[in-house]
Structure formats: C-alpha cells, structure tokens
Structure 1
Amino acid sequence: MQKLVILMLATVFSIGTLQAKEKEESKTPPPKPEAKVSVTDHSMRIDGTKIDYVATAGTMLMKNDKGEPKALFGFTAYVKKDTDLRTRPIMFAYNGGPGSASLWLHMGILGPQRTVVVDTDFSDNGPFKRVTNEYSILDKADLVMIDPVGTGLSHAVGDAKNEDFWGTDQDIESVASFIKQYITENHRWQSPKYILGESYGGMRTAGVSQYLVSNYMISLKGIILVSPFLQFVTGFDFGQADLPHVLFMPSFATAAWYHNAIADKPADLQTFISQAEKFAVEEYAPALMKGARLTIDEKQAIADKLAAFTGVSASYWLLSDLRVDHQAFLKELLKSKHMTVGRIDSRFKGYSLDPVADHMRYDPMTSAVGPQILSTFMDYYTTDLGVKDVSDYKVFGDVFSKWDFSHKQPNGGFMKMPFPDTGVDLAYAMIQSPKMKVLVQQGYFDMATPFFTTQYMLDHLKIPDALRGNISTAYYMAGHMMYVNPPSMAKFKQDLAAFIDQK
C-alpha cells in the first residue's frame, strides 16, 4: 500500500512537472523577425552598352525609436557594378493605391525586365512574355523598388500592426525612414537621389520629399510624379463639389474623341483639348457656380455643349444636374454597344458586366494588363532573382478602406486636415531645397488622375515664380500607366533620362 501511494505521488509530481514545463515553454517568445534577401549577379545591354549589376531582392528590417522591430519592408535594388557610389545617381520608386505593390512600374518601365503588353487589348491567357527592358533606367541610375507595408512582401512585425502604417502621415514617415536606412546601410549618402512615385505615389513623394529635408536633412536631386494624385478634394468627382467636375471634363472629351463618339471629330487632339479646357473654365465652371440660379435655357445650352464635347447625350447631363462623375461617364459613353471604357486608361474598352447599371463594375484596362504583369513578375522574382517565399505576396493589400487620409500639413500647425493635400508639402520641399527639380509625367487618357487636375495642382502651387522653372511636364498619348503604349514607353524613358542628365 505504501509503495502504491509513493508511486501515485511520483506520477502526480511528474505530471505537474511536465505541465509546468509545457507552460514555461508556451511563454517562450516567437523567433525574432529576420530580414531575408536574395543577391544575384546580372548583365544587360541598353543602347548597345553593357551594364553589369547586382540585384538584391527581399526585405529590410525596420525598427522603432526603442530599437524594437516594427516592419519588414519589401524591396528590390539594382546597383551597377564597378562604379563610384558617391557620384552614381540612385532612384527610389513605387506605385500608389494606397495599397498597391510596385510591380507595375517594376515590370512596366523601370526594371531590367519588362512585360510585353498588348496595348488597348486583351492578350491570350498565357504564357505571357517578358524581355530585356531596353527602356530601363539602369543606364542612368541605380534603382530601388519599394513596396509599402501591406503590399508585396512588406508587413508589420513585433507588436506593430499593418494598420499602424496605413495613413497619409504614417505612410510618409515609414517610407522616408526606409530611404534613410537604405542609404545609410548601403553607403549612398553622397549619391544624387531621386524619388519616382506613380498615382497615390505622387502624394507620398511630395510628402516624403518634405519629410526628408525637414527631419533628416536629406536633399533630393529631383522627384518624378507619374500620373500624380496629390489633392483629395480635386481627385474625386463623386460629390456635389463643382471643381472636380470641371477638372475631369476635358478627360471626358479625350475619351470621346478616341472612341469616335462625337460628331465632326477634329483631326488634331491637342486643338480639341484646348477647346475643351477653354469651355470648362470659361463656361462650364461659371454655370455650375450659379447652382439653382442657372436658368433653364442656360442649363440646356451648357448640356448641349457638354454633349458635343463628351459624346454623352444632353438629356443625360440634364438628368445629372450637369454633374456626371467619371465612373458613370465611362459606363455611359459606349453603353449602346454594351461596352465599358477603362478608368486607368480610357483607350481600353471591354464588354459590360451589367449593361443597364449606371456605374462601371470593373476596369477593362486592369483586367487586360494585370494578369500579364503579375504572371511575368512572379516568374521573374522567383527564378531570375531567386526569392524563395512569395506565398504572401500582395498585389493589392486590404488597405484603401482602412486608410487614415488625415494629414498634418506643414502649414497647418498641430491640426490635422481631414482631407490631404500634399501639394503644400511639395511647395515647402521646393522652397527648402530650391535646387530640387520636379518632372511630371501625365497621360491624356488617364481618368484616375486627369491631366487637367494635374495642371490645376501645378498652377496653384504656392512657390516663388523663380522656382517654377524647376518644374517640367511631359504628356503622353496614353493613360495612367502610359508606358503600356510603345511610343509612350520610348518617350517616357527619353524624358526621364533627360531629367536625370540635366545639370
């Protein structure tokens, strides 16, 4: 009996010890987040000149002020071999969204490989083709493609959450911090530095340029705004605010011109654009400003002219109180043909998902181009660049609906503005760094960030007249991603190279 009791006590003690050990092991912290990169050697030819370079693809570990890990930032860097890093320019680039990875610019125009896209049409469903990119910027500058947190392979770690990075100011701070850390770890403080941002990347770039010079004393040689979105108020035409409708209207005209939806179509697009802009400013805007004071006859006259410019009936304009938002327009323009026109590039068109719907249900341009770029990028990323784990790669993170758009503008004191305008940041950056150059690249058939909206933003920058010469603009016969159009692709590279070469 005594032996039995001893045995039972020993068993209980063993079980208790085992449970205590398991409990202790359960408290063991998870492994520390670790940056992982793949480094590969490559060579290519641009205009007959051989370029040997090193590609580094993977993640960089970012830490907070306490030295605690907060994010793994995905990036791909291309650095030319056997060159003086102090004089070799370096360009940081990204797309927008917010919530978009940088594969569009990466495989579309900037990187050493590019996707062969069928312009304005849907391609066969694979296999898709990629080729050596003769329009890459690597002959002029080293290149670092960045994926902000929540896109690509970038994600929060430690106690941080992805949502901590999802906001105008949070995004600006994190990307600026990445750039500072990259140039520190890679000995690029002396390099002439450029930033290129597309779409919402324009809002990011304007903010980052100001943040870098104000907080880190990092000056930029130049920034490139591709199809930029900088002002929330002028960038959306869904409400009753008059200004966005005025700024979008010339883009309606270019889409109608392209699709032969207007009577007596002028042969020259530039002349037609000038006429549309003149009407928008001198007649359309004053009419909208009148509101209920606009007479029936005046309203009919404006509707008739809108119909003549846009190919959408006067009756539709009247039913919409002379305010048709762009998604309704893109659905209405070719509605009789059961076709929807592209938002990212209004030269594209596709069959309507719902012919009687009053707004577009999808973007034909994204559906046509997206699968080609993603497929070729993933193939390139995992084979040529040797990145192993891409199972969590995110083209579009679940970001936009959770984005904190409020912004602490540099002229706003401690108050945050509910709707961002980083045009203010851009003006401050240009004033604080008066040698910094700005290149704006804009497509005429862009309905996401219309060309007249971009021009309005530039015209209203609060900078000294002497600094306006630092801004140059280039326009293309294509849309938001103008580089899917072969002639525009060549012009894009030419304009960008000339911008970097200028003294």
Structure 2
Amino acid sequence: MKAKFIYISCLACLLWMGSAGSSLMAQGISAAANPNQLIMQELEVSEKDHSIQAAGKSLSYKTTAGFMHMSNEGGKPKAKFYFTAYTLKNVSNPKDRPITFVFNGGPGSSSVWLHMGGLGPRMIEMTEDGEALPPPYNVIDNPNTWLDKTDLVFIDPIETGYSRPAEGEDKKQFLGYVEDIASVGDFIRAYVSEFKRWNSPKFLSGESYGTTRAAGLSGYLQDRYGMFLNGIIMISAVTNFATLNFAPGHDLPYIMYLPTYAAIAEYHKALPNEVSDLDAFIEEVRQYAKGEYATMLMKGDQLTEDDKLRLADKLHQYTGLSKEYLENTHYRIHIRRFVKELLRDRKQTVGRLDGRILGLDLDHAGEGFEFDPSYNKAIYGPYSMAINDYVSRELGFESNLAYEILTGRVRPWNYSNVQNEYLNNSETLRNAIHKNPYLKVMFINGYYDLATPFFATEYTVDHMMVAPELRDNISMKYYESGHMVYIHKPSLDQMTKDVRGFYEEVLKK
C-alpha cells in the first residue's frame, strides 16, 4: 500500500530570550529563529500491518516506511528523510504510548545496526557470539524488540540510508555537528506534529556518534521547540571527544582506554596471570588508570628509572604486552597499535568495534590491522543484506537508490562550532537535565568496545557536574560485549531486561 500525505504549515515568528538562546548558542546554533528550519512538505510511504511474539505476548503493529520530504518555510524542497516507524495498534490515547526516536552514528551511519540488530521487531540472525553465519543470511523475529514498551522511529540522517538532499541542494548544509542536530531535530518535530504525538512520552536512543547527536538534541528539542524528553538511552556513548582522540601531548585517551585493553587481553587469555573475577579485575585496572597511571603520564619525560620499572610491570600485567614494547611506546598504547600488537605472536588481530572478534592480515609485521574484523568480517555483509531485503520485501518500500550503510558521503564533517578544541556536548545534556529534572539517561557500555571505551564514558559523566540531587537521573549498565552490545546474544537478553526496566522506572506515576 502506498500513501501520500500533504502537509502545509506556517510557523509564527519566535523570539528567544534568556537561557534557551544561550544554551543553543553554546552548541553553535543560532538563538534567532532558524531561517533554514525544515518543515514537512509531504510523505511518500508504504504502510503495512504485522504481528510478533515478544515479552510473552502478541504485538500487533503498523509499519510506516519511506520518505518525509522536507522544505523550508517558503516551500523550497530541501531534503528527504528516510525513516521506518513501528507503532502499536489499538492505542487510543497518545499519553498511554511512549515513542522513541532511534539513530546510529558515524557520522555517516544509517540506523541499520540498531534497527536490525536488537531494537526492531525483525533482526538479522547471527551466531550467539555475534559473528556472521554463512551467506545468504536470514532475517528472523526479534523477541527482544523494544516495541512492547515503546513505538519506534528509526531515522537515517541525510546522506545515510536512502536519505538525500533535495535536487540541487548543497549537501554541506546537513553535514556537521550543528547542521545535523538542526535537521534531525526538525524531522523529529515534524514527525511528532504530523502523527499527533506531542502528548506521548518521548525518548531518544542513539549509538556511538548517535549519542553525540542525542545529547545535542536534548538541548535543541527542549530549547528550540519546548519538546521536553522523558528519557535517553545512550548506547556506546561519546559526548567528549577529548577522551578518544589520540594526539602527541594529549595523554587522556591512553588512560581512558587502559581498562578496555585489559578486558580484551583477559578475554583472549593474553595476560601473564589468570583472572578469576572479570569485574574485580576491571575495577582494579580502573583504579590504577585514574590513580598511579595518570600520575605517571603527567610526569612526561621526568620519570625516574624506578617509575619506568613500575609502569612496565603494571602495564604488562594488565595488557600482556611485553615490557620492552611498552618502554618503546613511552608507556602510551595507541589503539591502532594495540589491535595489531596484542596477538601478534598468534598472527591475529582484534576488532575495534568488538575486541572479542579476531582477524587475519597479510602482513604480520604491520603497525596496525588491515581491516576491522568486527566490522568487515562479522556484521557488514549480514546487516547490508538484512536492510535491503527487508525494506522492499516486508515493508513494501521501493527505492532505486543505494542504501548507504556506513558511508564517506558525509565527509568532510563540519566541526566549525569547536575550532581549536575537542567537541564536548556533555554540557548540553547536563543543561537539559537541570532544566528538566524528570529527564533520565541510561548509558549502555560494552567491556570490549575499543571505539567508545566504557571508562571514557564514566570519566565524561563524572565531569558533567550534574547537581547532586539529580545525579541519580543517570545510570550505567555494562555488558560482556563490544560496541554493538546487542550482537552478543547473552548481552542482548540482559540489555533488553535493563531497557524494559528503564522504561518502567521512567514512566511510573
């Protein structure tokens, strides 16, 4: 079934004063009404009815898949957003049904990973550990879907998935931190208005750079449109890029990554000593990283010979890397080196997205791996098949465009709002919580994630300076998985329980 809907809107002039404008200015977003604001022009969608068994019950739902064509207020076409929405049927009052807007990161990633990996009602079939089965692959029912707790809208930002600028429009107007927040935020406002969901409890869920987007949207939606959120689920988060960007003279990432290095080394039994309790071991490395290790790195080249011996001994104990190698790195382990060096003696590499997954290179003497086995070997092929087949065969939406899974089409990404500094929008999230004390945020972390290490997320949250009486608005969950926590079946099962509990807690009267 194809449906066309036409939407015509005229927005009143809005003058911002005080804190709302200053909060948006902190993100680099103009405090004046945005002349490039996007409004819905028309919908071009396919709608179908489906049902699934999840959470011990039958769920009947409608899918809406296709384009929201968007224009500026003058009616000039600007872009078309591809989205897939899942809405539970037979709900009479929107107050009774939450809605969650979902996206992945990149920048340059479609929403395919969360959509077909763990949140949507259908998912790609993988092994229990999250590796690919032999092609061709299968799409199966997902008993862990979040649909039993919330309607779901999966958004592909411009130049990802099927989403594109309108004909003749410069794509640069969508490709950057500020530009992305504004366009995705405008899509969410337009969707909520068109489908009469202003009175529904509203949530965001992002993964990776999608958590950067979610933090930015928490301020943009609240301060620009008065759209106050109930909750945000941050999966494999990064909101302070200073914790991740390795650079000479910048020691913070070496500290942030150490507990993840240790967890991965323990997983592959590459440590000199056996570990009997993973959580206790990780806590030990945490304390060392924020204590003695941080202090030692602060000394720079003023380390004594005794300092060097102690550093080499501890880092060898926690990473399994040789003391000679550690000395040659000045006791600073770069992620690009770690993925190659950890199992070099076995001629294997470890994954960046998921350090549990191993790869094989041609050159065993290289400085870094030739490809990320946790992406190229494990997930890229299955997820590409899943979304392309599922959208056309089951959702009934046809497009002759290539579905951009994870694309370079968004490069260069514009960070002009943070010249000569690292992007850190955790302050936007803190500000949103202080203005809306009912906003709850859950962080989901994988122990084996080298893209957004869990210790960096802890550091970021601990430096947000959330008021003590609101600190319980933020919760942390941990799983023995990687960046895509949900590809590991035991972690997916536990994550689903935790997420369902989060919705129940946030929405209880």
Question: Normalising by structure 1, what TM-score?
Answer: 0.89
Structure 2 runs not aligned, ≥5 long: 1-40
**Superposed, which structure 2 residues align to 1:68-107 within 5 Å?**
68-83=76-91, 84-107=93-116
1:282 aligns with 2:296: no
d(CA) in 2 for partners of 1:234, 1:52: 43
- The one-letter amino acid of 2:389's match is D
How far is 1:224 from its partner? 0.7
Residue aligned with 2:433, SS: helix
- The one-letter amino acid of 1:397's match is T
How far is 1:120 from its partner? 4.4
Output one character per residue of 1:271-318: Cα deviation in whole Å (capped at 9) or x when no partner: 110111111122111111001211233123202211111011111111
Aligned to 1:378: 388
Output one character per residue of 1:200-254: Cα deviation in whole Å (capped at 9) or x when no partner: 0010000001111111000001011000111111122244311111111111100
How far is 1:481 from its partner? 0.6
Picking from 36, 40, 45, the partner of 2:44 is 36
Pair 1:358–1:115, CA change in 2 (3 A): same
1:483 aligns with 2:486: yes
Residue aligned with 1:187, SS: coil
Identity of aligned residues (%): 39
Runs of 4+ in 1 over 6 A off after TM superposition: none
Query: Is 113-122 or 482-491 further displaced after alignment?
Result: 113-122
Pair 1:466–1:344, CA change in 2 (3 A): same
1:430 aligns with 2:430: no
Structure 1 runs not aligned, ≥5 long: 1-32, 409-415
Contact 1:330–1:360 (8 Å) recurs in 2: yes
Aligned to 1:108: 117
Aligned to 1:339: 348
- The one-letter amino acid of 1:91's match is T
Picking from 401, 407, 425, the partner of 2:417 is 407
1:453 aligns with 2:456: yes
Aligned to 1:172: 181
How far is 1:462 from its partner? 2.2
d(CA) in 2 for partners of 1:198, 1:148: 13
How far is 1:34 from its partner? 6.5
- The one-letter amino acid of 2:77's match is P
Aligned to 2:403: 393
Picking from 443, 446, 455, the partner of 2:446 is 443
Contact 1:74–1:152 (8 Å) recurs in 2: yes
d(CA) in 2 for partners of 1:401, 1:353: 29
Query: Is 238-247 or 476-485 further displaced after alignment?
Result: 238-247
Aligned to 2:360: 351
Residue aligned with 1:176, SS: helix
Contact 2:55–2:144 (8 Å) recurs in 1: no
Residue aligned with 1:492, SS: helix
Aligned to 1:493: 496
d(CA) in 1 for partners of 2:181, 2:235: 17
d(CA) in 1 for partners of 2:67, 2:232: 24
How far is 1:60 from its partner? 0.5
Give the aligned length. Answer: 464
**Superposed, which structure 2 residues align to 1:50-449 within 5 Å?**
50-83=58-91, 84-120=93-129, 122-367=131-376, 368-399=378-409, 401-407=411-417, 418-449=421-452
d(CA) in 2 for partners of 1:337, 1:48: 45
Contact 1:405–1:418 (8 Å) recurs in 2: no
How far is 1:400 from its partner? 5.6
- The one-letter amino acid of 1:87's match is D
Larger Rg: 1
Contact 2:67–2:83 (8 Å) recurs in 1: yes
- The one-letter amino acid of 1:72's match is K
Aligned to 2:14: none
RMSD: 1.6
Residue aligned with 1:402, SS: coil
